[in-house]
Structure 1
Amino acid sequence: MTGYCDEPAVDICGGTDLPYPPPYKLLDPNLVGDAVDVIENGRIQINLDSKLTRFLSKLTPNLPDPLRWEAPAVVNPVSWSVKLNIVIQIIGSRGDVQPFIALGNELQKYGHRVRQATHNVFSNFVRSHGLEFYPIGGDPQELMAYMVKNPGLIPNMAILREGDIQRKRSMLTEMLCGCWDSSVEPDPLSRRPFVADAIIANPPSFAHIHCAEALGIPVHLMFTMPWSNTRAFPHPLANLKNAGNDLTTANYISYSIFEWITWQGQVTEMGDIINNFRMKLDLELLSGIEGPNLASNLKVPITYCWSPALVPKPLDWPSHIDICGFFFRDPPNYTAPSDLDASLRAGPPPVYIGFGSIVIDNPAAMGSIILKAVRRCGIRAIISRGWSKLGGPEFENVFYLGDCPHEWLFQHVAAVVHHGGAGTTACGLLNGRPTAIVPFFGDQPFWGNMVAAAGAGPKPIPHKSLTAERLVEAISFCLTAQAVSSAREISKKMSGETGVQAAVRSFHANLPIESLKCDILPDQPAVWTYNKKNKSIKLSKLAAEVLIEYLRFDPSRLELYETRPVLIERHYSDPVTSTIHAFMTTQKDVVEAAGGIFYKPYKEYRSAHALQSSNQEVPPSFNPAMSKNKEYNGEGSSRQLSRDQRADGHSVAGAMAAASAKSLGNLYVKAFKGLAVDIPLATAEGLRNIPALYGEKVRDNGSVTDWKSGAVVGGRSFLYGMSEGLTDIFVQPYKGAKEGGALGAVKGVGKGTAALATKTTSAVLGLVAYPGQGICKTIRTAVKSHTRKHITAVKHIEGQYLLNSANELDLDHTRILADFDDFMGEHSIRS
């Protein structure tokens, strides 16, 4: 049976183990195992003749030829008046953070409140540019060191022995929790409340879609590396094997393969970490089908932050994918220290050599290679020490540099040699400097190849292959007239681009402007709805608090409003695999629940026994409904139990009995839901999708979100399924004959016969399955309410803060009350 893990799942934030691993974690390992291999430089080699790639190729849509390029779409300026709370979630090095500082400053010009959520070490860097900062944890130096040692997806045994994997998993867990906190917690310094109205993130931050789903708000991804399926070029981290002549399809599939391996990698397994996180946010768990490529399937807007002068937009990227140009912040007000200034004036422009945030295993050896190359080239050089503290003996033509903004420095050098980070690459090319790239991991080889293809630098040299001789050749190429001319040509094209402004236009253009606006204060986003007598009004935090203060309604009548709901639907390809998958999932859930009858009481006993020899209190489990700030929660950690209480024999026995009873109840629930809902639903959906296997369009009967929509979808499914199933036996032969003559008529008979069996059966099953699914969702929503209660509380807290601030600014309460009464068509004091 697939989908199970021997390693205990890691609890999110609370520090305690979950009782069992979340379901749906893995697909058939044999399906993935023959598809990929990890080569020495960390890239994945994809076998296009594997089971997995053959399966994914069937899901590949027919798209236009991507090898014909189109100019990037011009996003018309949007007149924007709604002022949002925007959190920008970034994981990575300083080079990853810096471009989003420029973005945040541009967003502030539209009146948005912008918070940058990233690693703690960047707090001063972010705040110094006038942005709010929220720490999400994680150590970027440790991440960089891990990626240098293990640039691929599957670590070597030395990495496993050193325990880096578990540290990385713990760090990812910490950062996921930090990203959620950044969406709903007050500012750490000012204590000013904050609830996000929109999220901008780079894909490696991982929490973005899940936080947006919990809050019901828009999310927009921005990245410096191709992350969207295209036939134009393969995934930057993929090598293709056995591609044959159909390279375009192979390119397209490489992105899906990469996502699948990341989701269910044999060691790091992002899938179970994400599902643990979703469990704590009261979100439904994702299967091995929905988890990978989630952003693509949901059509989450994504803006790529590179110049179309280097990589134009492929034709097969849809309208919600933009290329806007590199992000550049305003030139810093920088004055060079006297020693740097003297060095620059001492001779011809030097060559810059540095690897920024990369943590190199052996910086002394790297420094030696650089110095040998500099001597042999007979050039002047500036060597940036970076996070690896590069150094070496004093040398007449070498200056060792500490921190210095590239925007200023690259104006004064002849060429640049670096690791190939997108920001450093962009800065060098914007200044017209030839560029040699020594990549370590990630998108760095991609940018090295793009620079080489443009003629502005040599082919990239992987850092493990770097020698003094190869570095001499690379520097020599950069100093040729050809490289200088190519770099200047790219600079000319880039200088006309406005990447940050274009990205903000793209962000605004993809927001649901009409559904965002408060009906009373249209410059503020709606977060509540109030319904009465078939009338509904959207209200902002401030408008709602004004109306509550004047007793226009009871606050309990307010409902959370989702400006962009995230609806994740399970995909069912055919009845056989869908039914088998549902059956195996039900079987696993039942087995786990049955095991809990015995395991959970034992766990309670072990916990109590451990506490007897401990002087600590039991830490509370992570609960999004409980803010970690008592000041804004009013509850604190009152759920803690003392050691003596937990150690009491009667209490322990009671806890053990309760745990066993809860598992027994869970067993019945899992079995009933699987047999009465999940398996019939999977069979009904699989049968409904059979026409798609022979090119027919499948009717969309709507989405199931609660018991009402479940009843509606069940009724539609039965009505259309029965009518089409009974009529297709006549309609399909007629259509086939009209389109393909006698042969077409024969095919039509086959289609009609299949439709009679499949559509009518799907209709009958759906009459039970869809309402059952809706009832389950309604029950789940009622039971899993901690996160919604927390969101409700923090929105009221921010509303009260805004009300107190607005009173100081003479907010016109009378107009708000009058507009509300006019909108609702009433003048009552209290409903």
Structure 2
Amino acid sequence: MRIQIVTAGTYGSVAPYTGLGHRLMAEGHQVEIVTHAKFADSVACCGLGMRPLVADPFEGLLAVQAGSRSRSAPRAAYESGRASREAATALVDAILEAVDEKADLILLSTLAAPIGTVVAEYHRVPSAGVFLQPEEPTAAFPPCVLRRRGESPVNRWLGRAVNAGFDLLYAEANRRLHARLGLPRRGTAQLRRRRCGTLWPVWHGISPTVVPRPVDWRPGLHMSGYWWPHTCERWSPPAELADFLDAGPAPVLIGFGSMMPRPAEELGDIALRALRRAGLRGVVQSGWAGLSVATDDVITVGAVPHDWLMPRTAAVVHHAGAGTTAAGLRAGVPAVPVPVLTDQPWWSSRLVGLGVAPGVLPHAGLDSDRLAAALTEATTNPSYRSRAAALAAAIAREDGSGEVVRGLAGWSR
């Protein structure tokens, strides 16, 4: 089959699909990833086709969210909502231009699905969801934009309320989309009901060991297991990093990916002071925040594959994005989550519930004392390492990409 995978957002919203796409390609399919041009090298390294989305509105959205620290809560919420609506609207033209009407199947991420399903239907191409977060309401847990808590019927109501809000963010984009295609307009809530009523299939790139499939989900929703990013065959570790790892005990990895919870200088100072107080070595990933810390016991690096670096660490401090959370669990190392926004508090709570993290450190209250205490607990209490190792062993037995391949085996144009 000729398959397109359409995804938008940060690197964490793209990397898992390189592994899924590579597995589909190995099964004989022709696979093309549709995403932002800045990720072209990551896609090309996998041997996959690449078609760029013309618009990349998410850097602006992240900049707005990073600047929210200096605004009042109501103003920050307003600016974030406005930027989200603008980002969704910008995706309309981008997806319309990028979707291949001759494709046999279009796979859509969470952010691409509200637009991509309409475009695929217009071209009479089958589509399915490939989501990195659970979106369907359930009593088992609250929606992933809220902090995780126990099972309750209230969770299902909260899930519906959050989805209604998500649909509102796409309302203007949906109007533009239907106008561009010359279609009678259907509301975003109506389109969601249609996806549910037709049992539109969704595979979730999440380990069922980490998040078991809720028993009250409708048919067609699958918890397949993780899709691991495909590491470029040409990659090799920087000599300076390899020498640092060999020169002493396993360090702590500190990185926040595309998040900017504090100015780089302030965040770097917190990290350095915490590592010194905990008596630990550190590897700091610069990320979008531009962190830079360098001493005899701390090294700063750029992008390094998680599957190579994380197993060589004593613990990982991260923002608890879906992909980074998965990578840490795969590596079998304790976590210190510092969530910033969207689904990150949800995943952070899950890490604590799984017994691999001593607690959640909200970014607003992060300081060197709290971080040092959490690092000391994570690296000296053997229960976290033991539980992380057990989870990693269970996850290693799963085949998330294979589950999708087998599930799609019956699809045809």
TM-score, normalising length from structure 1?
A: 0.47
Structure 2 match to 1:473: 373
Structure 1 match to 2:406: 505
Structure 2 match to 1:690: none
1:335 to 228, 236, 240: 236
Structure 2 match to 1:114: 31
**1:225 to 2:129 alignment:** no
**1:157 to 2:71 alignment:** no
> Do the aligned partners of 1:87 and 1:182 also contact (CA within 8 Å) in 2?
no
Structure 2 match to 1:286: 186
User: Which letter does structure 2 place at the counterpart of 1:356?
Assistant: G
The structure-2 alpha-carbon separation of the partners of 1:296 and 1:474, relative to structure 1 and needing over 3 Å to count, comes to farther
Summarize deviations over 1:753-779 as a string: whole Å, max 9, x none. Answer: xxxxxxxxxxxxxxxxxxxxxxxxxxx
Q: Once the 2 structures are TM-superposed, how far is the Cα of residue 146 of structure 1 from its aligned partner?
A: 3.1
Summarize deviations over 1:102-142 as a string: whole Å, max 9, x none. Answer: 11111112322211111121122212211111111214433
The separation in 1 between residues aligned to 2:219 and 2:167, in whole angstroms, is: 26
Superposed counterparts of 1:341-420, under 5 Å: 341-392=242-293, 394-420=294-320
Structure 2 match to 1:131: 48
1:195 to 94, 102, 106: 102
Summarize deviations over 1:337-388 as a string: whole Å, max 9, x none. Answer: 2211111111101010001121345222111111110110010000110111
> Do the aligned partners of 2:5 and 2:31 also contact (CA within 8 Å) in 1?
yes
The separation in 2 between residues aligned to 1:507 and 1:477, in whole angstroms, is: 44
**1:249 to 2:153 alignment:** yes
2:61 to 129, 143, 150: 143
1:262 to 166, 170, 191: 166
Summarize deviations over 1:394-439 as a string: whole Å, max 9, x none. Answer: 3221001112111111121111111112221212211211111111
Superposed counterparts of 1:482-497, under 5 Å: 482-497=383-398
- Give SS of 2:226's match: coil
Structure 2 match to 1:181: 97
The separation in 2 between residues aligned to 1:122 and 1:176, in whole angstroms, is: 20
The structure-2 alpha-carbon separation of the partners of 1:332 and 1:407, relative to structure 1 and needing over 3 Å to count, comes to farther
Q: Once the 2 structures are TM-superposed, how far is the Cα of residue 502 of structure 1 from its aligned partner?
A: 1.2
The structure-2 alpha-carbon separation of the partners of 1:102 and 1:247, relative to structure 1 and needing over 3 Å to count, comes to closer
Superposed counterparts of 1:795-814, under 5 Å: none
Structure 2 match to 1:321: 221
The structure-2 alpha-carbon separation of the partners of 1:449 and 1:164, relative to structure 1 and needing over 3 Å to count, comes to closer
**1:87 to 2:1 alignment:** no
Q: Which runs of 4+ in 1 moved over 6 A?
A: none
The separation in 1 between residues aligned to 2:148 and 2:393, in whole angstroms, is: 35
User: Which letter does structure 1 place at the counterpart of 2:203?
Assistant: T
The structure-2 alpha-carbon separation of the partners of 1:455 and 1:104, relative to structure 1 and needing over 3 Å to count, comes to same
- Give SS of 2:356's match: coil
The separation in 1 between residues aligned to 2:152 and 2:198, in whole angstroms, is: 23
The separation in 1 between residues aligned to 2:344 and 2:48, in whole angstroms, is: 28
Q: Once the 2 structures are TM-superposed, how far is the Cα of residue 217 of structure 1 from its aligned partner?
A: 2.2
The separation in 2 between residues aligned to 1:226 and 1:215, in whole angstroms, is: 27
- Give SS of 1:228's match: coil
- Give SS of 1:447's match: helix
> Do the aligned partners of 1:352 and 1:416 also contact (CA within 8 Å) in 2?
yes
The structure-2 alpha-carbon separation of the partners of 1:239 and 1:330, relative to structure 1 and needing over 3 Å to count, comes to closer
> Do the aligned partners of 2:253 and 2:283 also contact (CA within 8 Å) in 1?
yes
- Give SS of 1:204's match: coil
The separation in 2 between residues aligned to 1:120 and 1:155, in whole angstroms, is: 33
User: Which letter does structure 1 place at the counterpart of 2:237?
Assistant: A
The separation in 2 between residues aligned to 1:101 and 1:362, in whole angstroms, is: 31
The separation in 2 between residues aligned to 1:171 and 1:329, in whole angstroms, is: 25
- Give SS of 1:258's match: helix
Q: Once the 2 structures are TM-superposed, how far is the Cα of residue 196 of structure 1 from its aligned partner?
A: 2.0
Summarize deviations over 1:310-360 as a string: whole Å, max 9, x none. Answer: 111111123311111111145554422221111111110101000112134
Superposed counterparts of 1:352-751, under 5 Å: 352-392=253-293, 394-479=294-379, 480-508=381-409, 511=411, 516=412, 525=413
> Do the aligned partners of 1:100 and 1:327 also contact (CA within 8 Å) in 2?
yes
Q: Once the 2 structures are TM-superposed, how far is the Cα of residue 228 of structure 1 from its aligned partner?
A: 0.6
The separation in 1 between residues aligned to 2:330 and 2:274, in whole angstroms, is: 26
Structure 1 unpaired stretches of 5+: 1-83, 185-193, 517-524, 526-831
The structure-2 alpha-carbon separation of the partners of 1:117 and 1:155, relative to structure 1 and needing over 3 Å to count, comes to farther
* C-alpha RMSD of matched pairs (Å): 2.5
> Do the aligned partners of 1:89 and 1:116 also contact (CA within 8 Å) in 2?
yes
The separation in 2 between residues aligned to 1:447 and 1:167, in whole angstroms, is: 24
The separation in 2 between residues aligned to 1:172 and 1:238, in whole angstroms, is: 21
**1:102 to 2:19 alignment:** yes
Summarize deviations over 1:521-540 as a string: whole Å, max 9, x none. Answer: xxxx3xxxxxxxxxxxxxxx
User: Which letter does structure 2 place at the counterpart of 1:486?
Assistant: R
> Do the aligned partners of 1:430 and 1:495 also contact (CA within 8 Å) in 2?
yes
- Give SS of 1:290's match: helix
User: Which letter does structure 2 place at the counterpart of 1:445?
Assistant: P
Aligned pair count?
407
The structure-2 alpha-carbon separation of the partners of 1:138 and 1:329, relative to structure 1 and needing over 3 Å to count, comes to closer
Q: Which of structures 1 and 2 has the bigger CA Rg?
A: 1
- Give SS of 1:340's match: helix
Structure 2 match to 1:34: none
Q: Once the 2 structures are TM-superposed, how far is the Cα of residue 157 of structure 1 from its aligned partner?
A: 2.7
> Do the aligned partners of 2:92 and 2:176 also contact (CA within 8 Å) in 1?
no
The separation in 2 between residues aligned to 1:283 and 1:406, in whole angstroms, is: 44
- Give SS of 1:436's match: strand
Larger RCO of the pair (alpha carbons < 8 Å, separation 6+): 2
> Do the aligned partners of 1:418 and 1:437 also contact (CA within 8 Å) in 2?
yes
Q: Once the 2 structures are TM-superposed, how far is the Cα of residue 173 of structure 1 from its aligned partner?
A: 2.4
- Give SS of 1:430's match: helix
The structure-2 alpha-carbon separation of the partners of 1:311 and 1:389, relative to structure 1 and needing over 3 Å to count, comes to same
Structure 1 match to 2:203: 303
Q: Percent identity?
A: 28
The separation in 2 between residues aligned to 1:464 and 1:240, in whole angstroms, is: 19
Summarize deviations over 1:623-645 as a string: whole Å, max 9, x none. Answer: xxxxxxxxxxxxxxxxxxxxxxx
The separation in 1 between residues aligned to 2:4 and 2:207, in whole angstroms, is: 25
User: Which letter does structure 2 place at the counterpart of 1:142?
Assistant: G
User: Which letter does structure 1 place at the counterpart of 2:131?
Assistant: F
Q: Once the 2 structures are TM-superposed, how far is the Cα of residue 390 of structure 1 from its aligned partner?
A: 0.6
The structure-2 alpha-carbon separation of the partners of 1:253 and 1:376, relative to structure 1 and needing over 3 Å to count, comes to same
The separation in 2 between residues aligned to 1:302 and 1:405, in whole angstroms, is: 27
User: Which letter does structure 1 place at the counterpart of 2:128?
Assistant: H
- Give SS of 1:508's match: coil
- Give SS of 1:86's match: strand
Q: Once the 2 structures are TM-superposed, how far is the Cα of residue 252 of structure 1 from its aligned partner?
A: 1.0
User: Which letter does structure 1 place at the counterpart of 2:64?
Assistant: Y
Q: Once the 2 structures are TM-superposed, how far is the Cα of residue 295 of structure 1 from its aligned partner?
A: 3.2
The structure-2 alpha-carbon separation of the partners of 1:147 and 1:113, relative to structure 1 and needing over 3 Å to count, comes to farther
The structure-2 alpha-carbon separation of the partners of 1:346 and 1:201, relative to structure 1 and needing over 3 Å to count, comes to same
